[in-house]
Structure 1
Amino acid sequence: MGYAIIGFGNIGRALAKAFARKGIDVSVATTRDPESFAADAAAIGPTVIPKTLADAVKADIIFLAVRFESHPEVAKALATWQGKTIIDVTNAYGVPPEKLGGQPSSKFVAQAFSGARLVKGFNHLIAATLDQDPAVHGGRRVVFLASDDDAAAAEIGALAENLGFSPIKLGGLSEGGLLVQARGNSWGQLIFKDLVKFD
């Protein structure tokens, strides 16, 4: 199973650190030349591998950690995303709902990545929090997941657990998923909630 993170800003780097803590290989890419961020990747750890966008999208599971406005450009990297799982980490704050056809932003993103299974997740925490070790006072930091594909949600839930988080599934993108999506100039009710689950 190959993993990639597209976008290497604060959120992308925080996700890369989560993989590095567990010694799991992950490709990182932006629309720029990999050499431009190779030093930043190396500083996180040897399992964080800078790649071109064309190479990174060969992974099975891809974290979309770019600005919401940039997702159509990333989507052009492949003609079809069949067989891939996209984790939508974007936040469409400030994007008018009518621009999204009144849909949740993740459904809008899913249309760009035709054929992919899409899971909304890892987007409700600010970068500084996501950056920290998810083991907190004997518990595990919660990440919320929403998807219209139960199998994809289960797969990403297992990955979240491997990375040390405690996944909580919210159901479909238009139901529980709305709790972790920005709409216009308002945030979903679970955005920025830093919760810890104790087993």
Structure 2
Amino acid sequence: MSCAIIGFGKIGRALAKAFARKGIEVSVATTRDPESFAADAAAIGPTIIPKTLAEAVKADVIFLAVRFEAHPDVAKALPTWQGKTIVDVTNAYGVSPDELVDQSSAKNVARAFTGAKLVKGFNHLGAATLDQDPAVHGGRRVVFLASDDDGAADEIGALAENLGFSPIKLGGLSEGGLLVQARGNSWGRLIFKDLVKFD
């Protein structure tokens, strides 16, 4: 299973560090030339591979770590996203709920990425927290996952565990997805909840 992170701001870099800590290769891309952020990628670790957007979207699993408003532009990179899993790490803070499909930011993203399986996840933690090693206080930092596709949620849950996190599935996008999204001037109830699970 190949992975890519689209977006290399604070959240994209924090995700890249999670992969680097475990020595797992991941492509990183923006709309810019890869050479413009190659040094930053190299500073994180040798398993962080800068690529063009066109190259990065060939991955099986794509972490969408761009501003919510930018997701339609990324979605244009492929005519169909069939066979791919999109992990929606965006937050639609400041976007009116009236502009969102079923008032769900994740459903908007799912609609843009035609044919993809979508998992809302890794977006409830601030970049500074996501940036840290998830092994804390003898437990593992929790990441919440919501999806209308159980298989995709299981796939990303297994990847989250490989990255050292403890995944908790919240159900579908219309239920669990609303708990971990921002929209308008409000945050879902689980946004910024930094929880640790002990086995």
| TM-score (normalizing by structure 2) | 0.99
State how far apart, in whole Å, the 2-side matches of 1:143 and 1:20 are.
Answer: 18
Q: How does 1:6-45 map to 2 (within 5 A)?
A: 6-45=6-45
Percent same amino acid among aligned pairs? 87
Q: How does 1:12-161 map to 2 (within 5 A)?
A: 12-161=12-161
Which residue type is aligned with residue 188 of structure 2? G
Q: Give distance in 2, aligned partners of 1:177 and 1:80.
A: 23
**Cα distance in 2, alignment partners of residues 51 and 181 from structure 1:** 29
Q: Give 5+ residue unaligned stretches, structure 1.
A: none
Alpha-carbon shift at residue 102 of structure 1 (Å): 3.8
The separation in 2 between residues aligned to 1:133 and 1:67, in whole angstroms, is 24
Q: 3-state DSSP class of the match of 1:118?
A: strand
SS at match of 2:4: strand
* Aligned 8 A contact 2:148 2:172 in 1: yes
Unpaired segments of 5 or more residues in structure 2?
none
> C-alpha separation between the residues in 2 aligned to 1:145 and 1:101?
19
Q: Which amino acid aligns with 1:139?
A: G
Tell me which residue corresponds to 1:182: 182
Structure 1 counterpart of 2:77, which letter? A
TM-score for the superposition, normalised by structure 1: 0.99
The amino acid of 2:58's aligned partner reads K
Read off the aligned partner of 1:180 and give its amino acid letter: V
Return the alpha-carbon distance in structure 2 between the equivalents of residues 119 and 162 of structure 1. 17
